[in-house]
Amino acid sequence: MENKRPEWTSYISFIIATIGSAVGLGNIWRFPYIMGEYGGAVFLLVYLFMVALICAIPLAVELAMGKIYKSDVVSVYEKINSRFKIFGIIGGITAVLIPAFYFVVGGWIINYIWIFLINDIPADFSAYFLTMNANPYIPLSLTVLFLLCTIIFPFIGLNKGIERANNIMMPLFGIMLILLAGYALTLSGAQEGLRFMFKPDFSKFSGEMILAALGQALFTLSIGMGAMITYGSYLKKEVNIRKSVYTLIFFDTVVAMLAGIMIFPIVFTNGIEPTAGATLVFISLPQIFLSLPFTRVLAVIFFLLLFFAAITSGISLLETSIACLCDRFKMSRKKSALLIFLAVLLLALPSSLSFGLMTDIRIFDKTFFDFLDYITSNILMPFGSLAAVIIAGWYAKNIAKEAFGEGNFARLLTFLLKFVLPPVLIAVLIIGLN
Ligand code: PFF
In a domain, 194, yes or no: yes
How many other C-beta atoms can be found within 10 angstroms of the C-beta atom of residue 119? 11
Give the chain's domain count: 1
Does a structural domain hold residue 5? Answer: no
Which atom from ligand 1 is nearest to the alpha carbon of 27?
4
Q: Is residue 2 part of a domain?
A: no
Determine the pLDDT at residue 89. 97
226 part of a folded domain: yes
Angle at the Cα of 378 (from 375 to 383), degrees rounded to 5? Answer: 90
Residue to probe by mutation, ligand 1, list 313, 321, 377, most atoms within 8 Å of CB = 313
**Distance in Å, CA 24 to ligand 1 centroid:** 6
Ligand 1 and 59: CB distance under 6 A: no
317 lines ligand 1 (CB under 6 A): yes
CA 78/CA 88 separation, integer angstroms: 8
Sign for the CA dihedral angle at 285, 378, 350, 339 comes to positive
Q: Is the Cβ atom of 57 under 6 angstroms away from ligand 1?
A: no
Structural domain range at position 50: 11-433
- Output helix, strand, coil percentages for the chain, rounded to the nearest 5: 80, 0, 20
Assigned domain for 162 exists: yes
Q: Has residue 302 been placed in a domain? A: yes
| CA dist., res. 75 & res. 77, Å (int) | 5
- pTM of the full predicted structure? 0.93
pLDDT confidence bin for 136, thresholds 50/70/90: confident
Highest mean pLDDT among 22-26, 59-63, 262-266, 377-381: 59-63
User: 129-143, 235-249, 302-316, 318-332: which range is least confident on average?
Assistant: 129-143
Count Cα neighbours of 208 within 13 Å in the Cβ-side half-sphere: 7
Tens of pLDDT, residue by residue over 8-21, are 999 999 999 999 99
Which of ligand 1's atoms lies nearest the C-alpha of 22? 1
For the Cβ of 377 lying below 6 angstroms from any atom of ligand 1, the answer is no
Q: Is 21 in the pocket of ligand 1 (CB under 6 A)?
A: yes
Average pLDDT score, the chain? 91
Q: How far is CA 164 from CA 6, 116, 180, in A?
A: 14, 27, 25
Contact status, residue 393 vs residue 418, Cβ threshold 8 Å: yes
Average pLDDT of the segment spanning 317-344: 96
Give domain status of residue 6, yes or no.
Answer: no
Which residue CA neighbors atom 11 of ligand 1 most closely? 222
CB of residue 27 inside a 6 A radius of ligand 1: yes
Task: Give the Å distance between the CA of 59 and the centre of ligand 1.
Answer: 12
- Looking at residue 173, which CATH number applies to its domain? 1.10.4160.10
